[in-house]
Amino acid sequence: MSREQHLIAIDLDGTLLKNDKTISMYTKKIIKKAKQKGHIVCIATGRPYRSSDLYYHQLELTTPIVNFNGAFVHHPKDHSWGTYHTPLSLEVVKEIVEVSEKHRVQNVLVEILDEVYFHYHDEKLLEIFSMGNPEITIGDLKNHLKKDVTSILILSDKQHVEKICHYLSSVHAKVVNHRRWKEPWHVVEIIKYGVNKAVGLQKIASYYNIPQERIIAFGDEDNDLEMLQYAGLGVAMGNAIPEVKAAANYVTKTNEEDGVALFLQEVLTL
């Protein structure tokens, strides 16, 4: 299997990254070996580029990257490759904000690539989302937003998150994709309908002319499901949620135990 060129797509949080948000030396070494053998390595994450470029550079990648769960796909090293931004319509976003206010959510956070908008001021969130120095705006989103948005995050308590999810499923099912973050976060993440990591990965695979059966994808969360199902080899981390393990072809060790590296080393005989 190792002789043919493979496309390796790796999620960041809970997959490539250990719990302290670093990549182990061993994993870096194995990924470098995979690249030396001619395999193509790319990142597919829910993060914006500004908070994933650190890892892109650490792995010395020269490939396109999937950000915002597929809502933004581009090539940091080659601007002629194209930029694929699939935003949500402003009209729908404003409706969602109004409903969120009725449910008295803690905050609504909107990202438009490198611009971040907070509905309410929140020091703790500002700290988390200021990585990579985005342009930050605080205040009523209905007044401040002027263009279509990349993604929405709604932060609330468990009970209200469930109500918001029910509303999105019943009213906007054909317009948005939404998912919940796992505990302890009570967050609903929303992007445009039909957009996911697999859509981004498809663009990268067709660019490199890699057939589906030679794609290996690693993930741990429900935003990785489509990507793992699309890949010829979908690999769930040992710490993945049960749905991801059920959808995968293989389950490797956890993100704390170098699961990505161990699997690649064995399958690609590195």
Q: The tokens of 17 are what?
A: 């990254």
188 by DSSP, 3-state: which? strand
CB 181 within 8 Å of CB 189: yes
Q: Tell me the C-alpha distance between 56 and 5, whole Å.
A: 20
CB 243 within 8 Å of CB 229: no
Chain-centroid distance, C-alpha 267? 25
Residue with tokens 């948000």: 21
Residue spans of beta strands (DSSP E) within 127-185: 135-138, 151-155, 176-180
Q: The tokens of 92 are what?
A: 């729908």
11 catalytic residue (yes or no)? yes
Q: Tell me the C-alpha distance between 49 and 163, whole Å.
A: 31
Q: Tell me the C-alpha distance between 228 and 218, whole Å.
A: 7
Q: The tokens of 189 are what?
A: 């993440």
Q: How many residues does the chain have?
A: 270
Q: Work out the number of other CB atoms within 10 angstroms of the CB of residue 2.
A: 15
Strands 176-180 and 187-192: antiparallel
Least Cα distance to 227 among 23, 7, 47 occurs for 7
Q: Which amino acids are annotated catalytic? A: 11
